[in-house]
Amino acid sequence: MRTTWFSKCMLAVSMAGIFTAAPALAQTTLKMAYALSTNSHYGAGADAFAKSIEGSTTGQFKVQQFANSALGGEREVIEGLQLGTIDVAIVSTGATLNFVPKTGVFDIPFLFRDLAQARKVLDGEIGQQMLAEFPKRGLVALAWGEQGFRQLTNNVRPVAKPEDAKGLKIRTTENPIHIAAFRQMGVLATPMAWPEVATALQQGTIDGQENPLSVIVSAKLPQLQKYLSLTAHVYGPALVLMAPNVYDGLSDADKAKFKTAGHDAAVAMRGYVDAVEKSGLEEVKAQGMKVNTVDHAAFVAAVEPVYPQYYKQFGKELVESIRNTK
């Protein structure tokens, strides 16, 4: 009789333990990596992603953010997605070019006229077909995010025309498409991982860098650079990527929720860019940066000799179809 009563008690305790532990076991924490601070367009996208997926799955998934390249540079982060050591990431096409070469077409200088045209291309057939290329490279692309148009900063002189940029040592991404255009203008293009840039600027190893206003503001570059030239030479897309080992194990319903979260992240990034395009110039001026406009037509003409190289690499039809989108 005592044995039976004791056994029942132990069974009840065991079952209670199982049910108590169940909610904790059901929750999955996802590691999300990006190169910039939480107070950036990437951070805005990551917050929107986390809020969306945690809400739509009622806490089944929790997002842990690793900002400021805490898990490595963008190349290492993408490799982490392929290996399954990182679950979600926001990255630039400067990095995806090494994994999905076709994405490099969007990095051609002076390909886009404005944000409206760029967004129309990315949201349309061309952009969606490009997202479909990622699974072939062991990656899942959820959505196109945004950084905005890249501008030139340096510590030597204002750059108003192409010849002003000649001889400047400018940090670029590890992107041969950008590098070819800069070298055409006589710039000493210096590929460098983002985490190394601030130190290189402080030490004078490089004269300047180029990035969208969203990065210039969030990375506090006015503290390190004197001149900002509004070259708008390259539109900077971003991508919300996911590890296939996580995504492929989801139900169809959960996959749809993650795609929605990716879309929400993209919307948040675009909203951040829209806001910083309005307020960013005044902010950097207030911090002492000298801002100048440029002879845009002269810059377009200066890189035009490189376009046959881009036609050969990506196909003239694709390049011109993007360039001519209304």
Q: How far apart are CA 99 and CA 149, in angstroms?
A: 23
Closest CA to 228 of 237, 236, 219: 219
pLDDT at 223 over 90: yes
Q: How far apart are CA 299 and CA 163, in angstroms?
A: 9
Average pLDDT of span 37-45:
95
Task: Report the pLDDT value the prediction gives residue 97, as an integer from 0 to 100.
Answer: 87
Average pLDDT of span 254-269:
98
Average pLDDT of span 147-163:
97
Q: Decide if 271 contacts 44 (C-beta within 8 A).
A: yes
Q: In this predicted structure, which of 142-151, 246-255, 276-285 has the lowest mean pLDDT?
A: 276-285
The partner residues of 63 in beta bridges, in order of sequence, read 30
Q: How far apart are CA 273 and CA 147, in angstroms?
A: 6
pLDDT digits (tens, 9 = 90+) for 79-116: 999 999 999 999 999 889 889 999 999 999 999 999 99
pLDDT at 4 over 50: yes
* 188-191 and 169-172 strand pairing: parallel
Give me the residue label for tokens 């694709």: 318
- Would you place residue 11 in the very low, low, confident or very high pLDDT band (cuts 50, 70, 90)? very low
Q: How far apart are CA 172 and CA 99, in angstroms?
A: 18
Q: How far apart are CA 155 and CA 30, in angstroms?
A: 40
pLDDT at 238 over 50: yes
Average pLDDT of span 162-172:
97
Computed over every residue of the chain, the mean pLDDT equals 92
Task: Report the pLDDT value the prediction gives residue 278, as an integer from 0 to 100.
Answer: 86
Supply the Cα-derived Rg of the chain in whole angstroms: 23
* 169-172 and 61-66 strand pairing: unpaired
Closest CA to 172 of 67, 291, 92: 92
Q: How far apart are CA 88 and CA 189, in angstroms?
A: 31
Token pair of 175, please?
Answer: 């992107």
Closest CA to 306 of 212, 194, 155, 177: 177
The partner residues of 90 in beta bridges, in order of sequence, read 240
DSSP 113: S
Q: How far apart are CA 15 and CA 12, in angstroms?
A: 5
Average pLDDT of span 18-42:
78
Other C-beta atoms closer than 10 Å to the C-beta of 13 total: 10
pLDDT digits (tens, 9 = 90+) for 262-315: 999 999 999 999 998 889 999 999 999 999 999 999 999 999 999 999 999 999
Q: How far apart are CA 281 and CA 283, in angstroms?
A: 5
Token pair of 213, please?
Answer: 């206003």
Q: Report how far apart the first and last C-alpha atoms of the chain are (Å, whole number).
A: 85
* DSSP E strands, 34-124: 61-66, 88-92
- Would you place residue 246 in the very low, low, confident or very high pLDDT band (cuts 50, 70, 90)? very high
Q: In this predicted structure, which of 2-16, 20-34, 104-118, 148-162 has the lowest mean pLDDT?
A: 2-16
Other C-beta atoms closer than 10 Å to the C-beta of 32 total: 26
